[in-house]
């Protein structure tokens, strides 16, 4: 938008000769490629080539020492027919994504709406709520989490005093996954900050007009805030979902590095690490990486497709 507002002097078609017009253009193009060269090298050597190699390896048996041997689709068929732990990791990851992401976004939205109208202290709360998003990815916090949700930890004691004896979430299948999900919810600050920025861009006149028409707060939220915020909501949903699929550190810490108890926190990435770097099945791990890539691509595509029916872009109103 900013770009269109600024006239581009380059587009003036002054009657200079063809030759004179062309040379500086090519020079500038050359400069662009110089600026771009680190990125081009990185994209080629550290992204595109590895993707191709990873795809190739996914059809092989490879242990890093002997040359890879072609096995066709065996890794893929093995994944879905002979590997119950893999299916378990898929289910765990899906369950975690479905629990953690909506809870996190709902909390982020609720807090953002609460902060929006605040006159004093907004900046303080915004920063304070955001802090866990930076700390939460660390091993330190993951270890704190394990201690808090352990047998005899604060959460266990707190629930115990209410007469609910959990015996520690970390030690119980089902509950351990929930404790990892809560760590994700705890980091609601990042999407909240984005929500808040989005809320501030909604024109005040809309609310004024609505209240003149007699719309209550809830009605205003449903009819103005949510539709106007839907692009931001969509952005957060896609971003957080993609990130949640790749969660690793907290699962590693909570489960003692092995996905326990009873494989209940064996997340997909944890199992990928286990297959590739503990068991040295690089071919199998590559196949897992490709299934993850495809799964994320499908989920993103589905989100984009459904977004057409609920994401509202103000500047495309007339379409």
Partner 1 sequence: MTFAPAVVRANRPRIALHIACLLVLLVMLYPLGWLVATSFKPADEVLASLALLPSRLATENYTTAAAGIQGVSLLKLFGNSLTISIGAVLGNVLSCSLAAYAFARLRFRMRGPLFAFMIATIMLPHHAVLIPQYIVFNQLGMVNTFWPMVLPKFLATDAFFVFLIVQFMRGLPRELEEAAKIDGCGPFRTFARVVLPLTRPALITTAIFTFIWAWNDFFTQLIYLFEPGKYTLTLALRTFVDTSSQSAYGPMFAMSVFALLPIVLFFLAFQRFLVEGMANSGVKG
Q: Are 274 and 252 in contact (CB under 8 A)?
A: no
Q: Which residue has the tokens 């196949």?
A: 287
Tokens of 200: 């501030």
Nearer to partner 1, 87 or 147 (CB): 147
Q: Nearest distance from residue 221's CB to partner 1, in Å?
A: 15
Q: Interaction with partner 1 in 65-104: which residues (CB under 8 A)?
A: none
E strands within 3-140?
60-61, 69-70
Place of tokens 């704190």: 144
Among the residue ranges 15-23, 135-143, 206-214, 308-316, the one whose residues contact partner 1 (CB under 8 A)? 135-143
Give the number of other Cβ atoms within 10 Å of residue 62's Cβ.
23
CA distance 255 to 24: 61
Among 127, 213, 279, 304, binds partner 1 (CB under 8 A): 127
Angle of helix 84-116 versus helix 226-245 axis, rounded to 10:
150
Token pair for residue 195? 């929500």
Residues 11-70 touching partner 1, rule: CB under 8 A, are 25, 28-29, 31-39, 41-43, 45-47, 49-51, 53-54, 57, 64
Q: Which residue has the tokens 């499908």?
A: 298
**Where in 253-312 is the site for partner 1 (CB under 8 A)?**
253, 256-257, 269, 272-273, 276-277, 282, 285-286, 288-290, 292-293, 296, 300
115 lines the binding site for partner 1 (CB under 8 A)? yes
- Reported residue count of the chain is 319
Considering only residues 191 to 230 of the shown chain, the ones binding partner 1 according to CB under 8 A are 193-194, 196-198, 201
Stretch that binds partner 1, among 12-20, 69-77, 149-157, 302-310 (CB under 8 A): 149-157
Give the shortest CB-39-to-partner 1 separation in angstroms.
4
Choose, by CB under 8 A, the member of 78, 83, 88, 132 that binds partner 1.
132
**Which single residue is written with the structure tokens 């990851």?**
93
Report in angstroms how near the CB of residue 91 gets to partner 1 at its nearest: 18
Q: How far is the C-alpha of 181 from the C-alpha of 251, rounded, in Å?
A: 10
The residues in 167-186 that bind partner 1, with binding defined as CB under 8 A, are 186
Least separation, in Å, of the C-beta of 170 and partner 1?
10
Which of 175/268 has CB closer to partner 1? 268
In the complex, least distance from residue 220 CB atom to partner 1, rounded to whole angstroms = 15
For the chain, the first-to-last Cα distance in angstroms comes to 18
Query: Could you give the angle at the alpha carbon of 55 between the alpha carbons of 59 and 265, nearest 5°?
Result: 85
- Contact between 131 and 143 under an 8 Å Cβ cutoff? The reply is no
Among 139, 279, 301, 302, binds partner 1 (CB under 8 A): 139
């Amino acid at each position: 938008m900013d770009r269109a507002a600024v006239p581009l002097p380059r587009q003036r078609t002054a009657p200079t000769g063809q030759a004179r017009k062309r040379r500086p253009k090519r020079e500038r193009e050359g400069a662009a490629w110089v600026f771009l060269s680190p990125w081009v090298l990185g994209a080629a050597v550290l992204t595109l080539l590895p993707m191709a190699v990873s795809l190739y390896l996914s059809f092989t048996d490879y242990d890093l020492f002997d040359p890879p041997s072609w096995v066709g689709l065996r890794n893929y068929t093995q994944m879905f027919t002979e590997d119950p732990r893999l299916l378990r990791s898929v289910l765990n990851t899906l369950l975690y994504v479905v629990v953690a992401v909506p809870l996190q976004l709902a909390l982020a939205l609720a807090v953002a709406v609460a902060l929006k109208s605040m006159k004093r202290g907004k900046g303080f709360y915004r920063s304070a709520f955001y802090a866990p998003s930076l700390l939460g990815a660390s091993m330190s916090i993951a270890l704190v989490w394990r201690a808090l949700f352990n047998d005899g930890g604060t959460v266990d004691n707190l629930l115990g005093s209410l007469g609910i004896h959990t015996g520690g979430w970390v030690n119980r299948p089902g509950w351990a996954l929930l404790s990892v999900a809560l760590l994700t919810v705890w980091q609601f600050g990042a999407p909240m900050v984005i929500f808040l920025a989005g809320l501030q861009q909604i024109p005040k006149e809309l609310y004024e007009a609505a209240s003149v028409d007699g719309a209550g707060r809830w009605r205003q939220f449903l009819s103005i805030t949510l539709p106007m915020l839907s692009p931001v909501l969509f952005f957060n949903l896609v971003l957080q979902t993609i990130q949640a699929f790749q969660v690793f550190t907290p699962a590693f810490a909570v489960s003692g590095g092995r996905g326990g108890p009873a494989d209940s926190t064996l997340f997909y990435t944890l199992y990928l690490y286990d297959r590739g770097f503990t068991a040295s099945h690089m071919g199998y791990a590559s196949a897992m990486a490709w299934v993850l890539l495809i799964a994320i691509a499908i989920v993103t595509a589905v989100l984009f497709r459904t977004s057409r029916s609920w994401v509202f872009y103000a500047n495309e109103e007339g379409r």
